[in-house]
Amino acid sequence: MGEIFLKKEKLDKAVEIFRETLFKYKSFKMLKEEEIPVFSSLGRITSRPVYAKISHPFFNASAVDGYALAFSKTAGASINTPKEFSIGIDTIPVNTGEPVKSPFDCVVMIEDVIKGKDRIRIFSPLHLYENVRVIGEDFSKGEIVVPVYEKIRPEHIGVLIASGHNAVYVFEKPKVYIIPTGEEVKRLGEVLSEGDVIDSNSFMIASILESFGASFRISDRVLPNDVEIIRKEIEKASHEFHIIVLIGGSAKGSRDYIVDVLNSFSPVLFHGLNIQPGKPLAISFNGPIPLIGLPGFPVSSFIDAKIFLKIAVEVITGYSLDMPEKLECILKRAITSPLGVEEFVRVKVTNIGGENVCVPLKKGAANISTVSNGDGVLRIEENIEGIEKGTKVIIDLFKGKDEVLNQLLFVGSNDPLFEFYLNFLKKEFPWFKFGIINAGSLGGLLSFLRGETIITSIHLFDLESNSYNTPYLKKYLGEGTYARLHFANRNQGLIVRKGNPKGIKHISDLIRDDIRFVNRQSGSGTRVFLDYLLEKFKVNKSQIRGYEMEEITHLGVANAVLEGIADCGMGIEYVARVFDLDFVKLGEEEYEIIIRKDYLQDPAINLIIKNLDNKNFLKELERFAGYSFVGRFKEA
């Protein structure tokens, strides 16, 4: 009898229907969470964001071989007036990676000194923490080092261990039940008669599933072409498995019952594809569980499995199975590189307006987070001094192309609540992908202007207008090109040690001789607010010990205070409370999200906007001390 197909579809349409139905039934909500050793987590998907338990490095470490010094004592050193230091008294030798402890706060490279018997001579001054990797330079305690729904790669293993984790929460592997059907199908080793076939398909499909990161079980027996028997087997398996695969009987012939079985659970999405081989495919659902009827012919079964089982596993796990590859991108900012050395620059990648864009991350061989957070690497040949802005470059990706090109790349000012919100959305909607580059408010605006991102953030105080953000937006961005989402107000001030042992009460206290300060980076909103206060109260910043010591996140500032590197630093109240530190409020700032106006209907942007009143998210706000959530647009 010839094959009969009841609901035939073109392949592209069938893929679209299947994917949409998986999301409709929220099949991605089926997987349970489990905690496993980090060493066993390669290839698994994180079920919650992972926060660093310790900073990296967790002590001030020398970045070079040389001699540790107090930077203040090096002032005035020059070729004509060198300065000498006694070894063991004014200086000590240190190797790369060794601690740099008080009273020392910088390191001179060994090749930049002349060494005598018990003294060294230097010929130029050093600045605070020169050639020192300060606590939290790579990442700080409390910082998200691996986001939710991230597939763990070897570099993540390194970050997880370095951040103090020996175990990690992941989703269980998707469990797939494979049911071969048909009286003519026999297991290997059984007696064969004419017309019989050996069940090789089950084991081929199982191997495909294993390559997708799924677990599987093949039914103990080959089921006969009996609707009721097959239906009962599916009902039983549905209590344990996330995907059920039936092999054989998907064409509508005299001995093929699979379509009848599938229709008994829910109407088949389609029956038959407009491809060859692979035509006899049928799919329906039992609740959120996809029931996939594969053809009996091996090649047809293989082709359909590689397409549709891949989609099922991707949606259920929330992660693309595409293999890493090379990708051509536009470099949106110039990169300098030393001649004579082949350099590997870690980058983030996204697609904006149909153009693949790459943004370089901070350099440093010791910063493992730039590998775990990066999307790929750009190789700069040794005979090239740098690459100009706008150049087409080839990126070696760390993950699948779709995974990076479909992500929303946020470049802007660091904020713990907004980062939590993005992870919350990713947990609720696994198709939502995002990447983060902490660049400060001004850095974010410039990135926005260069076309590296469609979303940034700002909390910049303007001295002349005595207001937040508006003057900077008018100065840097074109009128009518952006929308302003007032995300939250945050308490800004001085993070001090528990109990405030040095009695720091006002910005004027920063110039006291007994106070060591830690600052935010130039261009950050926090730094701009500090400079405004210094000017307002006529405090000379050159008298502040540590004004030039910079951290790029609020968490980094809190870590420096917690570890005794500084007595206080500028930051938000929330991180002070997280680290059980005290806080001296100096003001309240407006933290805004800036979005390209022509991207307001972008699916990822739309998701951010529509979930601002999500009840589950609003419940979490109680944990964020010092915040006043706003969540509404304001006039641009």
Q: What CATH number is associated with residue 26?
A: 3.40.980.10
Same domain, 90 and 191: no
pLDDT in tens, 405-437: 999 999 998 898 999 999 999 999 999 999 999
Same domain, 469 and 551: yes
User: Looking at 107, 133, 159, which one is the last position of a domain?
Assistant: 133
Does residue 626 belong to any structural domain of this protein? yes
Same domain, 17 and 42: no
* Closest to 243 in 3D by CA, of 319, 321, 155, 179: 179
- Please give the pLDDT value at position 614: 96
337 Cβ neighbours under 8 A, 6+ residues apart: 343, 345, 380, 384, 385, 386, 387
Same domain, 402 and 503: no
DSSP 21-68: HHHHTTGGG-PPEEEEEGGG-TT-BBSS-EE-SS-BSSS-EESSSEEE
Does residue 153 belong to any structural domain of this protein? yes
- Please give the pLDDT value at position 278: 82
Q: What CATH number is associated with residue 470?
A: 3.40.190.290
- Token couple for 521: 């980076």
Do residues 492 and 526 lie in contact, with contact meaning Cβ atoms separated by under 8 Å? yes
Same domain, 228 and 372: no
- Please give the pLDDT value at position 1: 41
Does residue 608 belong to any structural domain of this protein? yes
Do residues 515 and 567 lie in contact, with contact meaning Cβ atoms separated by under 8 Å? yes
Does residue 27 belong to any structural domain of this protein? yes
Do residues 557 and 575 lie in contact, with contact meaning Cβ atoms separated by under 8 Å? yes
Q: What CATH number is associated with residue 371?
A: 2.40.340.10
Q: What CATH number is associated with residue 92?
A: 2.170.190.11
In which residue ranges of the chain is pLDDT below 50?
1-2, 254
The residue with tokens 């001054």 is 125
Work out the angle at residue 274's Cα, subtended by the Cα atoms of residues 271 and 278, and round it to the nearest 5 degrees: 75
- Please give the pLDDT value at position 369: 73
Same domain, 148 and 190: no
Same domain, 129 and 200: no
Do residues 291 and 262 lie in contact, with contact meaning Cβ atoms separated by under 8 Å? yes
Q: What CATH number is associated with residue 143?
A: 3.90.105.10
Q: Which domain holds residue 623?
A: 418-433+440-634
Does residue 6 belong to any structural domain of this protein? no
What is the rounded CA–CA span in Å between residue 15 and residue 10? 9
User: Looking at 122, 149, 171, which one is the last position of a domain?
Assistant: 171
Same domain, 150 and 126: no
Does residue 5 belong to any structural domain of this protein? no
What total of structural domains would you count in the chain?
Answer: 5
Same domain, 17 and 105: no
Same domain, 370 and 453: no
Same domain, 221 and 161: no
With residue 237 as reference, give the H or E element that holds it: helix 227-237
Q: Find how far residue 352's CA is from the centre of its chain.
A: 18
Work out the angle at residue 598's Cα, subtended by the Cα atoms of residues 631 and 630, and round it to the nearest 5 degrees: 5
The residue with tokens 């017309």 is 195
Does residue 86 belong to any structural domain of this protein? yes
Does residue 4 belong to any structural domain of this protein? no
The pTM of the full predicted model, rounded to 2 decimals, is 0.82
User: Looking at 298, 317, 336, which one is the last position of a domain?
Assistant: 317
- Please give the pLDDT value at position 625: 93
Same domain, 606 and 496: yes
